[in-house]
Amino acid sequence: MGLQFSRRTALLILWDIAATFLAYFLASLLTELVDLVFSSREIFFVLGTAVVVNLLTFALFRLYNSLWEYASIDEVLRFVLAVVISTLVTAVVLWMLGKWLPIRVYFVAMFLMIFFVGGSRMLFRILKSKRYAFEPQSAHVPSPRTLVVGAGETGSLAIARMSSKDPLMPGTPIVAVDDNPAKRGKRIHNVRVIGSSDDIVDLVRRYDIEQIVVATPGATVEQRKRIYGICTQTNCQLRTLPNVRELREDEISGISLREVDVADLLGREEVVLNTSRVCGYISGETILVTGGGGSIGSELCRQMCLVDPKRIVVFDMYENDAYLLANDIRRNYPSIDCVVEIGSVCDEPRLRSVFEKYRPSAVFHAAAHKHVPLMEMCPREAIQNNVFGTLNTVQLADEYHVRRFIFISTDKAVNPTSVMGATKRMGEMVVQHYAQESETVFAAVRFGNVLGSNGSVIPIFKKQIATGGPVTVTHPDIERFFMTIPEASRLVIQAGGMARGGEIFILDMGDPVKIVDLAKSLITLSGLRVDEDIKIEYTGLRPGEKMYEELLMDEENTLPTDMKGIMISTGREVEFEEVASKLDDLREGIAAGDREALEALKRSVPTYTETRND
């Protein structure tokens, strides 16, 4: 995080400038060398050099970003080291410039700077504690006995705020742990650091801990997964808070504890949108998102706002979600023209009118029927929407010279066992079919389940837990790939920037996760006990449901890209005439009936294996 020029930062900088002049003047006075040191105007150049070196060194040591009202021994040692180094550097720089000051002046000035710099920072701590002491506190704020994981700056902030009875951070800090051996045995705001994360379960039992606050923003993905795994072995309420170094100073006072969610437990490294890769085809352009009101479509729209498109056209069958999304974008990004058009991708004339009106330069095709069991019962609807709705959108993109078209696919398209998966695989073939002869860059992006999307297991599990259970899982061994909605959306947008035509991009989903483990984690995070407070019931695989998902078909391999988290399938290219024949077969099938449509789908997607799971 860079230097933040808030009012407090500006005051600290002004004080450090004044403190530098004052320290050298007093050092000269105390060493009885003031007449020698200040005998010519050259001293102002010397002091100016000292000021520049001090400010640069202090910024390098983050003395203008640290939360001094929550300072611990680490921060104290840091500013002492910063002053020592800045004094030495000043002496060396002045010596190289041929300027001379007695060594004892530097020595005394260094101690005075430690006093002045440290005193100004500690003043913030005193003022902050006084402010909380005089603020009225709610009598109803809970104060569970709390163990804090992490004894760094974020952990220090959490302990200080809880100790001062801040309502945004409820709890009574009892003990802290840290995996850095150097911090053990020390005290942070009178809370002792005892042991490492491996001792959490024992400490919870020994100190009757009711709440665990994880404050380890610097931990790696694997370290966080391990810590959360240990914490979920207890019955404590599990909470965390943002990395204070990633916040603006005006945001710090308002941060609060939040519940740990399943995304935290998965421990995936958060993907940051590479704006340089995507700004060329999104910035200043009109973007059409079909299915724009859905989970993926709406997040695609929000993420695109970060690179400032001229207009976002949200095309969706359902007006409520699309309306709320448009209002959200208009409120947060007033410079972006966000419009909603209601309609179905199966309605070619309606879709044509949207292309004619807005002439989009890029299309993200997220409209689809995706519910696996329902599509088993309604195969013709699945084919009509997922295949021919995609065909309509692809054909119009080609006709209206759209520059890029990104089709949102799924891991269920790989060796599909469901109607939904088979129709999405056919959608991939349609995209590859047109990529061979069109000037439009067509590509598909294939990924697995997204946490919290409409119809996914997480919202369902949460509702079941809220009503007292049971939580229903189809099979104890069933596994799925998961990523967060923002992460999936960013990777889709970035894959769009990499597309050259005909690729199937595959997103790195990490390791598969057992659904039953997700259910257990959600129960634990709710402060409840598995099989005691909330039971888990196994209901059997549903029609079309796989035990394990795949990201590659048997004949496919992958090539890496220069973007972490994105690979390209190297599967067999689909012949143009082959896809046209399949589409004709599917048209005849859906005109004849569900059974005929299903048989046509089997012929069109040879890797499709019908699985009823009855």
Q: Give the C-alpha distances (Å, rounded to integers) separating 341 from 264, 291, 332.
A: 36, 10, 20
> Quick one: average pLDDT of 248-252?
49
| pLDDT-above-70 percentage for the chain | 83
Q: Which of 332, 293, 288 is nearest to 310 (CA)?
A: 288
Give me the chain's average pLDDT, please: 83
Predicted local confidence at residue 1, as pLDDT: 40
pLDDT band at 423 (very low <50, low <70, confident <90, very high): very high
Q: Which of 200, 189, 193, 196 is nearest to 166 (CA)?
A: 189
Euclidean distance between CA atoms 300 and 297, whole angstroms: 5
Which residues of the chain does CATH 3.40.50.720 include?
145-260, 278-452+481-510+548-604
Residue 215 clears pLDDT 70, i.e. is over it: yes
The CATH architecture of the domain made up of 278-452+481-510+548-604 is 3-Layer(aba) Sandwich (3.40)
Q: What is the CATH number of domain 145-260?
A: 3.40.50.720
Say what the pTM is.
0.66
Residue 238 clears pLDDT 90, i.e. is over it: no
Scanning 467-593, the segments in alpha helix (DSSP H) are 485-498, 515-525, 576-592
Euclidean distance between CA atoms 399 and 396, whole angstroms: 5
What's the CA angle centered on 434, arms 433 and 438, to 5 degrees?
Answer: 145
- For residue range 190-200, list pLDDT tens digits in order: 899 998 999 99
- For residue range 529-581, list pLDDT tens digits in order: 788 888 998 888 777 666 766 655 555 566 777 777 787 876 566 676 788 89
| pLDDT-above-90 percentage for the chain | 35
Distance from the Cα of residue 526 to its chain's centroid? 22
- For residue range 441-473, list pLDDT tens digits in order: 999 998 777 665 555 677 788 888 888 889 898
pLDDT band at 139 (very low <50, low <70, confident <90, very high): very low
